[in-house]
Amino acid sequence: MHKTSALTLLASTSLIPSTLAAYTLVESYDPTNFFSKFHFWDKKDPTNGFVQYKPLRSAAESGLIAIDTKSGTVPAIYIGVDHSTKDPAGRASVRISSKKSYNHGLFIFDIEHSPGGICGTWPAFWMLSDGGKWPEGGEIDIFEGANDDRHNKMTLHTTLGCTIQKMSGFSGKVDTPNCDVNAQGQGKNTGCGIKHPVVKTQETFGQGMNKGGGGVWVTSWTSSQISVYHFHRSQVPADINNGKPNPTKWGMPVAKFAEGCAIDKYFKNLNIIFNIALCGDWAGGAWTQSKGCSAKAPTCQQYVQNNPQVFKDAYWMIRSVKVYQEDAGNRKQMQKMKMVGREVQNWLSRRWQDFTEVGPVNVDQAWERDPETLEKRGFGDCKPSFLPFDYWSCR
């Protein structure tokens, strides 16, 4: 027996999740163009670090930046710190900010080596608003840690009114729930943070991560959420490597900031930033909390100034940063699908009462509870399936 229903027609349309993950590459930061697309910060470190950020020419001449074509399997961008002098004014380093700012997107960071896990260091790649007084416009910390940390922390910084309310839907652990930098009960400027789950065999920050060849971090930013995904080198999805990223196939993100924050109100015009800070508010302030680091010197500054050789491995090796935007047609289709999904759910709830006399329940539950009634009513060839909503497909 073959029956056709409105649901069959719906199933035959293009409203299928796998077709909705359509993104267009709008910017590629790679070895062919990387440094020309960034501004070099050469002012005082706003986080009070023991560091001197160098401008482009000085950084290049002193070997703090380069295009590396020998170390890895593919060309990569090198960004490091001075590891030969004992300058009492601070160790030379680099902080760069993309010339272009963004509102929404899929940001894919392919990192071969990071500077993390070394006492005195505070490296990060992050996104910061290009205007207003901090934290107006918002800040997204995608990869960040200090001293001998072994696992990454992802954080949002905002003004009053943005929080993490939903504690599920991601694999990380909420460390602080309030994104307001002046929130009571949290340290000043802390923001809302989610720590990467601790897996001893797979470190997400520091030298353990580097030994595995680094990996890929992805930030998905839309009007409704900001999510962070992480993949170790051997686990990078093929769709990312092929230039056709499809977040619907990646499973659960490490961090997700959604309910409790009006994203478009708090985040706008963000630039991509890479830097390697030394000491400062976090690495310096938390120095005594690390037994391993505090045993090396009384203060962070003393250690960083007097031990240049330990910072030889404090460098970024970046394969690329790619920015994708969701296709306009894709966004409209997603909105249409959600609307149709709600209509279908309402229709099913009404019809289930007529067909099964078991009340408005989920499709799978209806099939499991009363299959005999469904058979008698002529729906024996109908099987439950799943889209973003439940439906019947009669074949």
d(CA 111, CA 259): 30
Instruction: Give, as one character, the DSSP assignment of residue 160.
Output: T
d(CA 19, CA 326): 12
Q: Residue 23 in contact with residue 240, Cβ under 8 Å?
A: no
Residue of 127, 384, 109 lying closest to 266 (CA atoms): 127
Secondary structure class of 340 (helix, strand, coil): helix
d(CA 127, CA 323): 13
Q: Catalytic residue among 27, 61, 112, 144, which?
A: 144
Residue of 381, 333, 355 lying closest to 347 (CA atoms): 355
The residues that bridge with 111 in the sheet, in sequence order, are: 215, 318
Q: Any idea what the Cα angle at residue 299 is, between residues 293 and 301, rounded to 5°? A: 105
Amino acid, res. 369: R
d(CA 32, CA 30): 5
Helix or strand run (H / E) with residue 262: none
Residue of 272, 285, 259 lying closest to 179 (CA atoms): 259
Secondary structure class of 140 (helix, strand, coil): strand
Buried b (16+ CB within 10 A) or exposed e, 170-188: bbbbebbbbbbbebeebee
d(CA 20, CA 28): 22
d(CA 140, CA 4): 49
Work out the number of other CB atoms within 10 angstroms of the CB of residue 89: 9
Q: Catalytic residue among 27, 61, 112, 139, which?
A: 139
112 catalytically annotated: no
Q: What's the Cα-to-Cα distance from 306 to each of 87, 291, 295, 360, 363, rounded to whole Å?
A: 9, 19, 14, 71, 68
Extract the tokens encoding 260.
């409790």
372 catalytically annotated: no
- Residues acting as catalytic residues: 139, 144
